Structures are given as C-alpha cells and as structure tokens.
Amino acid sequence: MINLKKLIGLFILLIMLSSSFGLISGQKNVALVANYIDYNLNSNIISILQSRGMNISYFSRTDTGYNSYPYVIILGGPDAPDHTGFLASQILLSNEINNLRRIPGYQIFYEKRDQWVNRQKVFVIAGSDRENTRFAVQSNLVTLIDRIVEDTGSPAVPYYIVNSSQLKQWISSGEQLFIIDVRSPDEYRSGHIPGAVNITGIELGSVLSSIPRDRKIIVYCSTSQAAITNAQFLANRGFTNVYALTDPYSVYIRS
C-alpha cells in the first residue's frame, strides 16, 4: 500500500512538473529597451504584448542583461537619449540611420537576427522624432506580435512587390484592387491613393475577415517599410495575392 501511495504521489508530481514545463517553454521572453520618455509615450505596449502570452522585461538606462533574451525590442533611433540611441546605431544599416536623421516623418521597423546570441531576434522601432516613433509602434505592433508569437524558425511566406508606375497602370485599367493605407488616420486624411482604405498596422489583425481574397491587395505607407512588414503579415495569414508598394506615398503622388 505504501508503495502504491508513493507511485501515485510520484505520478501526480510528474504531471505537475510537465504542466509547469509546458507553460514555461510556450512563453516568449522579451526584453523591451527604451528610455523613460519613449517608454511612457508607448506605455500600453507591455500590456498588449503580455495579453498575447509574452513575458516582458523592461530595461532602462542603467539595466543590463537584455542581450541574452531571445527577443529584444528597442524603441527609438540613433539619436535617442540614454543607451537606446547607442544600441540603435549598432544595429541599423547606415542608410536607415541617415533616413531617420534627414527625412521628416520617416519611420522604420527593422529586424536583425543573431545580434548577440544565436537564434535571437532584435527589433528596432523608430521614427525621425518621438512622435513618429510612437506612430511607428502603432503601425507595426501587429507585425511585431506576429514575428514573435508565431516564430517557428520556418521561412517566411512570400508576398509580391509593386512600384508606383505599375500600380497606376492597374488603377487606370480598371482592375479591381483592394488598397490598404497603413499610415495614421491623420496622414490618411491629409491625402491618400484614391479608393484606399485606412487600416493601421495595429488594426489589421482584427479586420482580416473583411479583406477580400478574390483580388490583388496593395499595402502602402509613408516609407515602404511598414508596407513590407504588413504585406508579410497578410501573407502569413494565408492571403496569396498581397503586394507591397515599394515607393513611399510621397513618391507615388509625384510620379
């Protein structure tokens, strides 16, 4: 009887341990690196990421250890104060650094793998100023969540690209298109491609059922970076006719 009790106890313990290990292994550990001001401007990002099952650790100016995390999010560009600017300068390409410094309204969502450890993903979300960094977070949050939550190590699903002249030819020919403007509502109201609907990156995941699958889907933004990341998001969701406009909206209207 004693042996039976021990066996039952051991069995229960194994179940409890296996359940605990399952919870730990399924959770995504994410380091969020930002200076105090950018963190407060985007204070809802932690609760949103936590709601998707991520374990978020915030690292401010004097904190260390972020570089050992499998996922690292850096808010701010090369000129951001504290340690953030230094990290962004290490990770971003030189042309992207120049764009952030020279082009008003420029925004970027940049991903780099294996920055400090193997199988690591580092994301830099930045704008030409703090307000545009906030816009960049809003526009790319859905893509960020998708890149982390659904990271299986598998190759990304392909999407297509289109330039301004090709898109204008499609529109002129009367071809049925579904054009998505992922910029902020204020940018959309100030001018947009005729017929485009305004769906920001953060909203995109909640309206997938309203996006038609029987026509070409065109995604565009103010820099082309958000267009690419959101086109990838739609492709990962099973849309097979997605196109990212490689030209920023400002180039489209001048072409």
Q: Which of 7-11, 15-19, 98-102, 240-244 has the lowest mean pLDDT?
A: 15-19
How far is C-alpha 210 from the geometric centre of its chain's CA atoms?
Answer: 21
Per-residue b or e along 195-210, where b marks 16 or more CB atoms closer than 10 Å to that residue's CB: ebeebbbbebbeeeee
- Please return the burial class of 21, using the count of CB atoms within 10 Å of its CB with bins 0-12, 13-18 and 19+: exposed
Q: What is the DSSP string of 95-152?
A: HHHHHHHHSTT-EEEEEEESSSSTT-EEEEEEESSHHHHHHHHHHHHHHHHHHHHT--
User: Is the pTM higher than 0.85?
Assistant: no
Residue 179 sits at the vertex; the CA angle it makes with 177 and 182, to the nearest 5 degrees, is 165
pLDDT digits (tens, 9 = 90+) for 6-22: 544 544 444 443 333 33
* Domain boundaries along the sequence of the chain: 27-149, 160-254
What average pLDDT is seen over the chain?
84
Whether 242 and 231 have beta carbons less than 8 Å apart is answered as: yes
Give the number of other CB atoms < 10 A from CB of residue 191: 11
What residues does 55 pair with on adjacent strands? 29
What does CATH list as the number for 160-254? 3.40.250.10
pLDDT digits (tens, 9 = 90+) for 119-172: 899 999 999 999 999 888 887 887 788 788 766 555 557 788 899 999 999 999
Region 92-107 average pLDDT: 92
Distances (CA, A) of 142 to 50, 150, 203: 13, 12, 8
The token pair at 116 is 């400090």
Q: Which of 10-24, 31-45, 195-209, 213-227 has the lowest mean pLDDT?
A: 10-24
pLDDT digits (tens, 9 = 90+) for 109-129: 999 989 999 989 999 999 999
Residue 209 sits at the vertex; the CA angle it makes with 205 and 213, to the nearest 5 degrees, is 110
Q: Does domain 27-149 have CATH number 3.30.379.10?
A: yes
The token pair at 201 is 């990156």
Per-residue b or e along 219-243, where b marks 16 or more CB atoms closer than 10 Å to that residue's CB: bbbbbbbbbbbbbbbbbbeebebbb
